[in-house]
Chain A
Amino acid sequence: MLTRLNQRFSSLLFSASPEVPTGLPATKRTMLAAINNALDTVLTKDQTACVFGEDVAFGGVFRCTDGLRAKHGESRVFNTPLCEQGIAGFAVGLASYGVTTIAEIQFADYIFPAFDQIVNEAAKLRYRTGGQFNCGSLTIRAPYGAVGHGGLYHSQSPEAYFAHTPGLKIVIPRGPVQAKGLLLSSIRDPNPVLFFEPKAMYRASSCDVPDDDYTIPLGKAEIVKHGREVTIIGFGLQLLSLDKAVTRVEKELGITCEIIDLRTIMPLDMETIEKSVKKTGRCVIAHEAPRFGGIGAEIAAKIQEECFLHLEAPIGRVCGWDTPFPLVFEKFYYPDENRAYEEIKRIVLY
């Protein structure tokens, strides 16, 4: 995985987004530096905002919170005990008081002790209280995804478990520019947001990230490449494999592909997806998470509901196999550019 990243950096991962104003003063930043910058921005502008989690104080195991405690103080940037359910519960309570609350779960693989607090509490607080209370100022960040050697418990993509819960928003950036803009939007969105960061991207490379405060809207997918013959949908690090697969398939089959970065998993931007599939008539969805019950299944169901008469082929999916995420077998497990190429070709030639 990391080798693939080092060999060739995808222009898609390091591209800007149309919502980001051009010509702004910018600095070369990796994804983790962009995230750090976003957190710094929030802590500077909102004097009671808090960032906390395990090992957050010294900068975090991935350095995302580096320097924040020294700059903003120990009452606002602090360590919690090693207890995800405590982190999440504490965060829900603090957010329900109106404090801008940014909690970190060290790995998405360890988010499950917090599942009850996220799914039964955070997601439902506004709803069940008749709007009297809410924890809209809550954001939970967690590194997710394959990293090359993570195995079962340092590689998971848990977005599907949470997408099945009404009341949550789920946001996943593909690159440094999106990480900053989407994280700022997530923090400011008046609903609890889960922000999953593709950890393989943290230090992958850097690109210009505007220094100013800017946001990328939630609930809006981005067409990162326009095309005519097939719609390819992905998010996060998958944009790298898809970029490579698409380059090959366009050359070999003489077609053009439209690539959509979802950016927000929940709520989905079906308008952009439907418009694209009605144009192309074909679709392939990619994600690292296991095939069964993954986000691809929901998107495929919705596409065939809304675009049935426009479809020229079944909707393809490139996903992890329905196994836990293995270590030595990662290369066989991971939906990479070759698997994506084969699936796109299959759907285009159907």
Chain B
Amino acid sequence: MLKVLLRSMSYSNSLSFTHPHALSIPTFQVINEDGLPNSSSSQYLSSVNKDLLTRMYKTMIEVQEFDTLYYDLQRQGLISFYMQNSGEEGLQVATAAALDLNDWIFPQYRELGVFFWRGFSIQQASHQLFSNVKDLGEGKQMPVHYGSKDLNIMTVRSPLATQIPQAAGLGYGLRLKKQNSISVCYYGDGAASEGDTHAALNIASTTKSQTLFVCRNNKYAISTNMKDQYGSDGIAVRGVAYGIHSIRVDGNDVIATYIATQEAKKLILEGPQPVLMECMTYRRGHHSTSDDASRYRNKEELEYYQKNNNPIIRLEKFLKHMGWLDFDPVEIQKETRDRIIKAKDIAKNEKLPRWEVMFDGVYNELTPELKKQKGELKKFLEIYGDKYEINRHS
């Protein structure tokens, strides 16, 4: 503590401004874009094995196929809204694989691979998309706002970055209760600009929360490219500014991301102290079904990330290189899609939640005023229920 103070108190007799790029953080990578290990990668490869990487691959395919089906279904009007994960499946499963179920997750909204890895079923996700009676969220929120108490995944919310200081707070709770687990929040390069992100890093730093901040730098926040989002050397340098151990990682390299997350968790629990990890990746899809990215992005860029820097393809190439590819990717894709379609059919045919549920959860129990209002709506629906498709509700 004193050393830090003295260092920052050192005087200089020559006038100079520190250049904004004085600190330039390189991107940690283990396998290159062709899926081949780099020359110094061998020390890291012992951390992974065929089973682990095969599971990662298959989970990424689940995300990919789930995205493909539901994007189309939204276009057909079957669900109201959807957000894809294309391009980011790698960092999702790789970070999740390095954590366990005692760790808490605070997602943003583009982390389906984290959900699937931790055991959130395709069926459960489908229920949420259809807002049906089996949705754990009781049909309260828009599609893709998944959450699971059993899996310690805080429900997705729409306002950006609000989960980040919350992850700092929960990480403090873990420290208070001397738990060997961490809280992990995910957010994009856009959300990284929100005030809550600054607030969170600062308070995590001073309270030494057991929190891992994972920024998915996918280069776009809806249509806003990095150059309009920040002037700094990305997001990783900001962690250093708050006194936080920080790393930048190739988010499309599942092995590098997996290892970095493992090491980050160790570092967090050693402190305890928070850690910031910026995963460089790319959002191949539109922001959501309400967006058309072709209006602001060029084809060349998209093609590069589709073919040359695609986490699924890079992993497949690596598995081949290692002689670990003992499944047929095409078969896996087909079988996965079939499972997803079956789950979709089940979810689609479920009823919607009872209308009364609209009044549940405002407080732990109904207040007199809410009871009164519920009574008013009940009377109203006795007359008009059919006009509001009351029979679709359970």
Contacts and interface: CB of A to CB of B under 8 A. Distances in A.
Contact of A128 (B140, B171, B175, B369): B140
Interface residues of A, number: 50
17 contacts: A83-B199, A85-B195, A89-B162, A92-B169, A93-B169, A94-B172, A96-B154, A96-B170, A97-B173, A113-B195, A117-B162, A121-B166, A127-B140, A127-B360, A128-B145, A130-B147, A136-B364
B170 A97 contact: yes
B162 A132 contact: no
Q: Which of A113, A133, A134 has the most CB of B within 10 A?
A: A133
A86 B199 CA distance: 5
B217 interface: no
B169 A94 contact: yes
Contacts of A75: 175-176
A314 interface: no
Interface in A113-151: 113, 116-117, 120-121, 126-134, 136
Interface of A: 48, 50, 75-76, 78-81, 83, 85-99, 101, 113, 116-117, 120-121, 126-134, 136, 166-167, 169, 190-191, 219, 267-268, 270-271
Contacts, number: 161
Contacts of B367: 219, 267
B149 A133 contact: yes
A92 B166 contact: yes
Given A93-B173, A267-B369, A132 B148 contact: yes
B120 to A, nearest CB: 12
Nearest to B128: A130
B360 A131 contact: yes
Nearest to B166: A93
B323 interface: no
Nearest to B168: A90
A85 B196 contact: yes
A307 to B, nearest CB: 15
Contact of A90 (B140, B154, B166): B166
A117 B138 CA distance: 22
B310 interface: no
B203 A90 contact: yes
A190 B170 CA distance: 18
A91 B362 CA distance: 19
B258 to A, nearest CB: 26
B200 interface: yes
B140 to A, nearest CB: 5
A120 B175 CA distance: 26
B165 A126 contact: no
B202 interface: yes
A93 B183 contact: yes
B306 interface: no
B361 A131 contact: yes
B241 to A, nearest CB: 13
Interface string B211-230: 00000000000000000000
B147 A83 contact: no
A96 B165 CA distance: 12
B236 interface: no
Contact of A126 (B162, B167, B196, B364): B364
Contacts of A127: 140, 360-362
A121 B202 contact: no
Nearest to B185: A93
A50 B137 CA distance: 29
B276 interface: no
B375 to A, nearest CB: 14
Nearest to B242: A81
Contacts of B135: 130
Contacts of A116: 159, 162, 196
